[in-house]
Amino acid sequence: MPRDRREGLEIKVVNPPAVTNNVSVETSPATATRRRRQQRASFAEFRPFKLWFPWLVPAIVVANIALFAISMFINNCPKNSAYCSARFLGRFAFQPMKENPLLGPSSLTLEKMGALDVSMVVHNHEVWRLFTCIWLHAGVFHVLANMLSLIFIGIRLEQEFGFVRIGLLYMISGFGGSLLSSLFNRAGISVGASGALFGLLGAMLSELLTNWTIYANKFAALLTLIFIIAINLAVGILPHVDNFAHLGGFTSGFLLGFVFLIRPQYGYFNQRNNPRGYAAPSAKSKHKPYQYVLWITSLMLLIAGYTAGLVVLLRGTDLNKHCSWCHYLSCIPTSLWSCKSQNVYCESSQIGQQMNLTCIANGKTEMYKLSNDIPSRVQQLCSQLCR
C-alpha cells in the first residue's frame, strides 16, 4: 500500500502478514466474513506517518510579503523615487537604481528594518540582525522568487514532519546562512530568505540519507535532488550573489535534517501494527544504529560550528585574510565578468536635512536623510551606489 510520493520518492509499506492458527476452530460463514472485513479495514486504515496540515509555511510567506510592503511604504513608494530604488542582484548585493522606483526599498530603509550589516553586528553587538535579515527582501523579483520556492519546498515538508520541526529548521538554517555570510562578506548589507531555503534543500537530502531503508526509487530520487542542489549552488558563483549565505544555509539544513527529520524503521511500525494474536519473529528497535550516530555527530557539529562562528564574528575577524581561495566559493571570475572590487568615488552635497550622493563612475545619484551615523557610512553608501 504505497503512500505519499515526493519527487518520485515512494515510501514502502509492508502489510503485516495474515494471522495463522494451527488450531482448527469452527466458525460460521457470517463470523468468518465479518472477521475478514475487519482485517481489511484495519489494513486499509494503516498509516505509518501522520500527515500534518500545513499552516506555518503559508504564514511565513504572508509575513515576508507584508514586511516587504511595509518597507515599500516606509520609502513612500512610488512618490519618493530616491528611496524606492533597490534592484535585486542576489541575496547579498543589490544596486540602487533611480530610474525604476517600484523595484524595491532602499538599502537605508532595509538597514533600519534589520538588514544584516556586519559593522553593526561587530561593533554594536546587534546579533539579532542574523535573524531579522531573512525576513527582508531587496526587490519585487527577489521576494517573489524566494516565496514561490518556499511554497514549492516547504509545504510538502511541513505536511510530512509538522510545523515545529520545519519552523526550527527554517530559522536555524537562515541563521547559519547569515553567520557564514557575515564572516566573509564584510561590506554592504544582506537581506533575503535564500539561506533558509537552501537549508530546506539540505534537509531534504539528509532526510533521504538517514531514512534510506524506507524509500523506493531512492537512487533516482537522490540523483535528482543532487542535480537540483548543484544547479542552485552554481548560480552563486555569479558576481553580486552571496553564495556564502547559500552554503551556510545548506550546510546547516543538511546537518539539521539528521537531527529533526529522523524516522523509525518499518520493522518497528510493523510490529506495532500487527493484528492481535500475531507473534513477531523478533523485536525491532525504533531506529537503526547509523541513525543515532548521524544524530549525535550532526548535533555536535552544529553546536561547535555556531559557537566558533559567533566568537570569530564578534571579534571582528575577516576570514578572507585567513583563506586565500575561499572567495572563489562566492564568485569565479571569467571573461564575462570580474569579481574584483574597485575603488569608488562619490560627490556629496547637503540640501537641508538630506545628503545628495553621486557616483562619479556611473553618474547615479541617491538622496539620504541625515542622521548621526551617516558621516561614518559615506564610503559604504558610495560603494553600494557605484555597483
Please list the active-site residues.
194, 246
C-alpha cell at 234: 552554481
DSSP label at residue 86: E
> What is the torsion angle, in degrees rounded to the nearest 10, for the CA atoms of residue 130, residue 295, residue 286 and residue 262?
40
Pick the closest to residue 245 from 80, 54, 91 (CA basis). 91
CA distance 47 to 34: 22
Crossing angle for the helix pair 243-260 and 289-314, nearest 10 degrees? 140
Q: How far apart are CA 232 and CA 240, in angstroms?
A: 15
| Residues forming beta bridges with residue 365, ordered by sequence position | 358
Q: How far is residue 287 CA from its own chain's centroid?
A: 27
Residue 385: alpha-carbon gap to chain centroid:
28
Q: Quick one: cell of 75?
A: 520609502
Amino acid at residue number 357:
L
End-to-end CA distance of the chain: 57
Distance in angstroms (rounded) separating the CA atoms of residues 116 and 225 = 30
Measured CA distances, 257 to 149, 172, 203, 306 (Å): 19, 11, 4, 16
Distance in angstroms (rounded) separating the CA atoms of residues 256 and 313:
22
In degrees, rounded to 5, the angle at the alpha carbon of residue 16 between the alpha carbons of residues 14 and 21 is 155
DSSP state of 189: E
